[in-house]
Structure 1
Amino acid sequence: MRKRSLASRIYLSLIGLSLAGVGGVFAVLMWKSFMRAEDVDHWPLVPCSILESRVGSRRDDPDWPAGMPQEFRFEVRYVYEWQDRQWESTRYRLRGAPWSDTPSAAEELVLKYPEGSVAECHVNPDQPDQAVLRGETKAAGYSLWFPLLFVVGGLGIVAGAWRPRSR
């Protein structure tokens, strides 16, 4: 059996390191997202009064028929007290409410958080101006295995490139 040339070993190592690097970047980003969601779950809950609750819309496509919204989302404004001071927020989640091509999801949230009602919101104790009605999803943490496959696979390619070939 022929021995691998140095050039082929370097080439395979670069491919493996690229795969591992990309997987590593995505794993880190997903871990940060998971930890941010975990942090929000530990923020104190305080009562908040809903001042405004409505379905917002936007139209990004200039070719879309005039006067017809293209996407919808839940928009809210509420006040809450933290450490004897009143604060205001417009965040449903840290990243805001998701946009949708139908208004039904936003309409459900308007019914869940009607104007004049009292709800509970999570307040960031380190930055009291930051509050959310709902915590973030932890799906990134549960899916972390996927980019880690690229890390392990990429490092396996590098190891295989330098392993002596058996006869």
Structure 2
Amino acid sequence: MKKKRSVAARVYLSFVGLALAVLGGVFSWLMWKSFLRAEEVDHWPVVPCSILESEVKSRRDDPDWPPEMPQEFSFHVRYIYEWEGKEWESDHYRLRGASWSSTPAAAEALVEQYPKGSVQDCLVNPEQPRKAVLKGESKAPGYSLWFPLIFVVGGLGITVGAWRR
């Protein structure tokens, strides 16, 4: 003998299921958008650029902290390049910039890879030449898209299951 679910239980399960599906859908959309942006950057033209500045920058979350408190480090770069006969300048390592770290090692490695005065390849956005990067974006969001989609499918499954007899 099956026990019948009340309407309130069905509505509650539908709300939970739809909330999961919507949140999964939002994260799926954001990850897909990030993947498409990375794909787009990969197709930007590659041009030579001259590195004008390459250094490790540091910051503190609160300037009033004592010197022994931790600080963060990041790679800072500035370079010039030519696109369609015009000289441009950029300071983007990636579209999202260089990440901050509690140790300077990662930033120091990038300073060694892109030393001041060197000529490197950079990717230029042909539609907005002011936007150039030294390195493309990660496509990891596209490869991980399956995870938030589990929530979409699961949430819809909960909603449908709440109303099945």
What is aligned with 1:57?
58
Q: In the aligned structure 2, how far is the partner of 1:4 from the partner of 1:78?
A: 66
What is aligned with 1:148?
149
| Alignment of 1:87 onto 2:85 | no
Q: In the aligned structure 2, how far is the partner of 1:93 from the partner of 1:62?
A: 27
User: Kindly tell me: are residues 157 and 53 of structure 1, through their superposed partners in 2, closer, same or farther at Cα, counting changes over 3 Å?
Assistant: same
What is aligned with 2:72?
71
Specify the code of the residue in structure 2 equivalent to 1:28: W
What is aligned with 1:15?
16
| Alignment of 1:102 onto 2:93 | no
Give the TM-score of the pair, scaled to structure 1: 0.94
Q: In the aligned structure 2, how far is the partner of 1:162 from the partner of 1:14?
A: 12
Post-superposition offset of 1:62: 5.0
* 1:57–1:69 contact (8 Å) kept in structure 2: no
- Give the match's secondary structure for 1:79: strand
Post-superposition offset of 1:67: 7.7
* 1:23–1:148 contact (8 Å) kept in structure 2: yes
- Give the match's secondary structure for 1:101: coil
Structure 2 spans left out of the alignment, 5+ residues:
none
User: Kindly tell me: are residues 5 and 68 of structure 1, through their superposed partners in 2, closer, same or farther at Cα, counting changes over 3 Å?
Assistant: closer
Identity across the alignment (%): 71
Q: In the aligned structure 1, how far is the partner of 2:119 from the partner of 2:85?
A: 18
Specify the code of the residue in structure 2 equivalent to 1:26: F
What is aligned with 2:42?
41
Structure 1 ranges of 4+ moved more than 6 A: none
Q: In the aligned structure 1, how far is the partner of 2:69 from the partner of 2:159?
A: 54
Post-superposition offset of 1:7: 1.3
* Residues 91-150 of structure 1 deviation map (CA, whole Å, 9 limit, x = unaligned): 000010010110011111111111110000000000000000000111111111110010
Structure 1 window deviating more from structure 2 (58-67 vs 124-133): it is: 58-67
Q: In the aligned structure 1, how far is the partner of 2:144 from the partner of 2:120?
A: 31
User: Kindly tell me: are residues 64 and 49 of structure 1, through their superposed partners in 2, closer, same or farther at Cα, counting changes over 3 Å?
Assistant: same
What is aligned with 1:132?
133
Post-superposition offset of 1:2: 2.3
Give the TM-score of the pair, scaled to structure 2: 0.95
Q: Between Structure 1 and Structure 2, how many residues are aligned?
A: 164
